[in-house]
Amino acid sequence: MRITIVGCGSIGTKLAEAADAMDEVKRIYLIDVVRPLAEELANKLNKAIVVDSVEDELYHCDLVIEAASQAAASDVVYKTVSRGVDIMLMSVGALVDDEFREMVFEKARQTDAKVFIPSGALSGTDGLRSASLDELDEVELITKKGPKSLAGVAYVEQEGIDVNSVTEPTVIFSGSAREAVKAFPKNINVAATVSLLGIGFDRTKVTIVVDPEAKSNSHELIVKGKFGTMNCHTYNVPSPDNPKTSYLASLSAISALKRIIRKEWIGI
């Protein structure tokens, strides 16, 4: 298999390192808006080379993995599925626009391309997926993060919130998943995943809490419906090289890649 990784940050780097050690992966194409970052990573690997754009190698590529940003995902996903190439999306918030999302999924159906979305830093997506086959009354995601994870977020600054001055757990956002994904494009992609699996972007409720004492990034998924009630709480260790990213998100991406390559679908 030949794969293209878009984004050589924390998740992209860990993915590339894992893929480099997989016998099934023969070539890794790396792309990053900061080309030296991609070149530095390629120099550490055995199978990687740097390319300028996704289109450069689509005819030779079996899977594109986006691990960069919502903007990057929006740019590459339609191009990729239009060529009949499979894609894994980490920045799921790129699918918040209903018309764009349906266009992508319809094109994927036409070309027989697959769109893979890992569970990311959240547990309970398997239960939500099954429960959604019958009526759901409520889906809520409560996310709690430390100040470092939310520092520099445009929404926080626009609201005049100084996360470093917060002395106790404080709600800084409460609204729909659609609003959350747009306001926190790098922090709450799991809300998009939950919305796609459950009752949609507008009915899914999201609450974001900044906690100065938080030692982990936590996600609490609450689901109520005809199946019963589910409460799934995940306490994530932040990635050491990027406090905005949970380590589990990287592991989820690597796990998804292994499942795709080996065609093993346990727990679906």
Q: Hey, which residues are catalytic here?
A: 219
Q: How far is CA 134 from CA 130, 194, 230, in A?
A: 8, 16, 14
Residue 239 to residue 257: CA distance in whole angstroms: 19
Alpha carbon 11 to chain centroid distance? 10
Tell which residue, 157, 76, 159, 121, has the closest CA to residue 242. Answer: 121
- Rg of the chain's alpha carbons, rounded to an integer? 18
**What are 228's two structure tokens?**
């019963």
Half-sphere exposure of 110 (CA within 13 A, CB side): 11
The burial of 96, by beta-carbon neighbours within 10 Å (0-12 exposed, 13-18 middle, 19 or more buried), is given as: buried
Query: The dihedral of CA 190, 191, 192, 198: what is its sign?
Result: positive
**Pairing outcome for strands 217-225 and 115-116:** unpaired
**What are 256's two structure tokens?**
């998804």
CB atoms within 10 A of CB 193: 24
